[in-house]
Amino acid sequence: MGENKRLMLAGEWYLPDDPELLADSERRVRLCAAYDAAVTAPAAERHAILTELLGTVDPSVRVRPPFRCDFGYNISIGARTFVNFGAVFLDTGTISVGSDVQIGPNVQLLTPTHELDAVRRRAGWEKALPVTIGDNVWLGGGVIVCPGVSIGANTVVGAGAVVARTLPPGVLAVGNPARVVRELT
């Protein structure tokens, strides 16, 4: 494993234009395109492509194309989870999605972050902070989850919310930035 990939996986600052990471990205482009093109293929064929992209995926997981990610191998999705059209999972860091999660259309789960220092940002330095979605979470359409955020089990996030801070379990959060408006029972 190359140094930049090791740094990326460790959540440290790295340069993404590394040949090994570019090859991993080309693999992702090929697999995402195959998955999107297999929209009318039998479920087993679609599942095989998704498994090659992400690793182990329970057969009960449903991901509607188009689906976009950075690498695929940093994503885990729990059983009976549904991901609607247009999802973007930028997985330079780990993305962990629990079981029984409902993800609306055009949801973005973002792990990459960039340097605030202009010189280092221009040089391309970035790192990733993990995103964790608990069991039985519902993310409404267009939700954006920022790097380093965790969303607790049984939480609902309203459509269009931007989640920039960790949310506790069992709450309803809405807005930009997302804020808790009430507990759910």
Which positions are annotated as active-site residues? Answer: 114
Distance in angstroms (rounded) separating the CA atoms of residues 167 and 175: 13
CA distance 146 to 150: 9
DSSP, res 66: P
DSSP structure string for 164-180:
-S-B-SSEEEETTTTEE
Segment holding 77, helix H or strand E: strand 75-77
Using CA atoms, how far apart are residues 87 and 56, in angstroms rounded to an integer? Answer: 19
